[in-house]
A and B are shown apart, each in its own frame.
Chain A
Amino acid sequence: MSDNAQLFLDSLWPIVEGAIKGTIPLALISFSLGLIIALIVALMRLSKSKVLSALARIYISIIRGTPLLVQLFVIFYGMPSVGITLDPWPSAIIAFSLNVGGYAAEVIRAAILSVPRGQWEAGYTIGMSQTQQLGRVILPQAARVSVPPLSNTFISLVKDSSLASLILVTETFRVSQEIAAFSQEFMLLYIEAALVYWVISTFLAFGQSMLEERLDRYVSK
């Protein structure tokens, strides 16, 4: 076996381990928290209160208008100067959650608006509270519409999580960087990292189509 093949095999497990212990939990936790933020921000944006709606707008504008890397650095390297020092992991999770929150808020808002007004009225007329209308009538239908765009957000997040390597989080890319620096086989190790991201993304895309199929069961084709 050639040296390269040997190096590929030897480094595969450490890199995959980086994905299992770094990239995947980082993406899952950030995406879950991000969705909660997004739902709250979307509802603020849709609320009749001008103040809440304006706050939501400003938040979305800042998140979408600044680079994720800058957001990450502000939290990890910037905050200590105002007396808040966070470890790499919490910093990364905060930055990624806030980022997903900003992008997904607009997706969720649009999905909620895509449900016909008659559905709110039907919920109201059978006696539902506003929370019930939202939870039992509107969101289940909005979910179907938002799966494709939210899947995009999720897959982007998996790849963007490689930025966490720059604030010292041990994840897929950082592991391959370290091995590359040591072995000087940059091409091989970075291709290997790319491969791992690609496999994860492919699984996610597969999950997306299964979810879409399930949510489409009540729609005529």
Chain B
Amino acid sequence: MSRNDANSGAGGNFGSQSQPGAMKRSDMNQGDVLFDVKGLSKSFGDLQVLKSIDLTVRKGQVSVLMGPSGSGKTTVLRSLNSLESPDGGTITFTGGPSFDFSKSQKKPERALLRDQSAMVFQQHNLFPHRTVLENVTEGPIHVQKTPKAQAIAEAEALLARVGLADKRDVYPFQLSGGQQQRVGIVRALALKPDVLLFDEPTSALDPELVGDVLAVMKELADEGWTMVVVTHEVTFARAVADQVVFMDGGVVLEASTPSQMFSNPRHRRTRQFLDRILNPLGE
């Protein structure tokens, strides 16, 4: 199970494996488990940022990680993509590889874990010296060795889907923040990963540009992509998430459906946090 044997991205949709609408979005416990995170822990020096995190991600589901800054949600996400090396715990893909972080991971293992997913960064991290099209085809052509013509055709189809077909030959600096982030999403999609990871994809954007990016993400979710999203966008979580995971101080305080989480959170800390972001002036 890796990027290379996922479905082709050409054609009418974003190239996801599952059928749209095949899953009932309201039930977070339905669907096959894609991977299981157990006891994930990580320290930076004396600071323990992750204290035994458990997380189950099902195929085709959208998991939203929320929590105050410093809660460890971004570290969890980055660990899934091998951008951080946890000190302990396991990640097990159903019918696929598993990773035990209590043993030190060698380069090929880290690469194997990385290749399960693709990351969309908060600051998009597009390659400034490459055009939009080159940004998208860089991975397929130079890493996955997809034939150039095929990679370009697929990239063009994906760019067209996010409304950026006419921007294929411009450099990232010539795009708006929202357009840059949509290219960032397309760059991740072009790798045909099993899981899409989003690290606060809209936090660096002007408020009026957030909608375009969220709309693309919602479309991906509707098409059945498996997504793990770190975000503070409650509206998005409410409308799109299958499970919302609330983290604080390096632990998962609770994980439930969005309706449960936003209407009746179990934990006092969760309630406090949600209250603060939904009602920042405290009125």
Contacts and interface: CB of A to CB of B under 8 A. Distances in A.
Does A pair with B? Answer: yes
Contacts of B143: 126-128, 132
A124 B142 contact: no
Interface stretch (A67-75, A136-144, A184-192, A202-210): A136-144
Interface in A112-143: 116, 118-119, 121-128, 132, 136-137, 140-141
Contacts of B118: 125-126
Interface string A131-168: 01000110011001000000000000000000000000
- Chain A CB within 10 Å — which of B126, B138, B173 has the most? B138
Contacts of B130: 218
B191 interface: yes
A84 interface: no
B126 A125 contact: no
Most chain B Cβ neighbours within 10 Å, of A116, A127, A140, A141: A127
B245 to A, nearest CB: 22
Contact of B81 (A123, A125, A141): A125
B70 to A, nearest CB: 19
Contacts of A122: 121, 125-127
Interface string B1-31: 0010000000000000000000000000000
Contacts of B144: 127
A132 B142 contact: yes
Interface in B125-140: 125-130, 138-139
A48 interface: no
Contacts of A119: 125, 127
A138 B221 CA distance: 33
A220 interface: yes
A124 to B, nearest CB: 7
B187 interface: yes
B52 interface: no
Interface in B109-156: 111, 114-115, 118-119, 121, 123, 125-130, 138-139, 142-144
B262 interface: no
B126 A127 contact: no
Nearest to A128: B143
A31 to B, nearest CB: 23
B171 interface: yes
Contact of B171 (A125, A126, A217): A217
Interface residues of A, number: 21
Most chain A beta-carbon contacts within 10 A, residue among B82, B118, B129: B129
Nearest to A118: B125
A46 to B, nearest CB: 18
Contacts of B187: 126
Say whether chain A's binding surface is mostly helix, strand, loop, or mixed.
helix
A219 interface: yes
A125 B129 contact: no
A124 B114 CA distance: 8
A217 B125 CA distance: 18
B173 A220 contact: yes
A116 B121 CA distance: 13
A148 to B, nearest CB: 17
A112 to B, nearest CB: 14
Contacts of A116: 125
A116 B119 CA distance: 17
Interface in B165-180: 171-174
Contacts of B173: 218-220
Contacts of A127: 3, 111, 114-115, 139, 143-144, 191
Nearest to A132: B142
A1 B242 CA distance: 94
Interface of A: 116, 118-119, 121-128, 132, 136-137, 140-141, 144, 217-220
Nearest first, the 10 closest Cβ-Cβ pairs linking A and B are A126-B139, A127-B143, A122-B125, A118-B125, A220-B173, A218-B171, A125-B119, A218-B129, A140-B129, A218-B128
